[in-house]
Amino acid sequence: MICFIALIVFAVLGIFSAKYRNYAKEAFDCVFRRMTLRKCTTAFDKKMKMKVTGKLMKTSPKTGGIVFRNFELISWIFTAIMIISFAYSVLGIYNFVVYNNCEGPNAVGPCIYNEIGELTNGINAPLCESQHCAVHGCDCTDETCNENNGFEACDGNCNCIEAVCME
């Protein structure tokens, strides 16, 4: 199922370089045919198999042979990993938008999307209440984290932030 991964990769690369557009077209044809339970007529999967294993054979013939014999299985493994990774990324973004953290309700762990939230300049601004901070286990009552210093609340990671608070 190398065609599926190649379609995504070559579609993105094809935006920037005409060299990869033919690969993207071949990959699309291959994916469409595989989705309808037919074999690829373009031999795209075989072409990619030869390119990948050929490069491996130069550095490690034994590894290249193993990859050549198990190429379809390896392709399916990478396809599954890509789909699972995409699903978890979407879930994390959903949780960030809905709960303002990556792990869902009642989570207090760090979230990689907090940086994005700060860059949106107040779109996901925190509530300016001590209860909001207490839910996240934050103590925003100390001298460094008060309105006089320009900080209005704390984020989910218990850091003081400058924000326009939601009403």
Residues 45-99 have pLDDT tens digits of 888 899 999 999 999 999 999 999 999 899 889 989 999 999 998 998 888 888 7
Q: How many CB atoms lie within 10 A of CB 75?
A: 20
Q: Which pLDDT score, from 0 to 100, does residue 100 have?
A: 75
Assess whether 84 and 49 both reside in one domain. Answer: yes
Report whether 44 contacts 26 (CB < 8 A): yes
How much is the CA Rg of the chain, to the nearest whole Å? 24
Please count the residues of the chain.
167
Higher pLDDT, 42 or 82: 82
| Residues 153, 133: Cα–Cα separation, whole Å | 7
Assess whether 74 and 138 both reside in one domain. Answer: no
- Among residues 99, 123, 140, the one where a domain terminates is 99
pTM: predicted TM-score of the whole model, two decimal places? 0.58
Assess whether 48 and 128 both reside in one domain. Answer: no
Write out the H or E segment, with its range, that includes residue 66. helix 61-69
Residue 139: domain span: 114-161
AA identity, residue 36: T
Assess whether 72 and 126 both reside in one domain. Answer: no
Assess whether 29 and 87 both reside in one domain. Answer: yes
> Helix/strand/coil (H, E, C) string of 100-122?
CCCCCCCCCCCCCCHHHHHHCCC
When divided into structural domains, the chain yields a total of 2
Assess whether 127 and 55 both reside in one domain. Answer: no
Task: Quote the tokens at residue 32.
Answer: 């469409």
For 93-151, write each residue's pLDDT tens digit. Answer: 888 888 777 777 777 777 777 666 554 444 444 444 444 455 545 555 555 554 444 44
Task: Quote the tokens at residue 121.
Answer: 């300049």
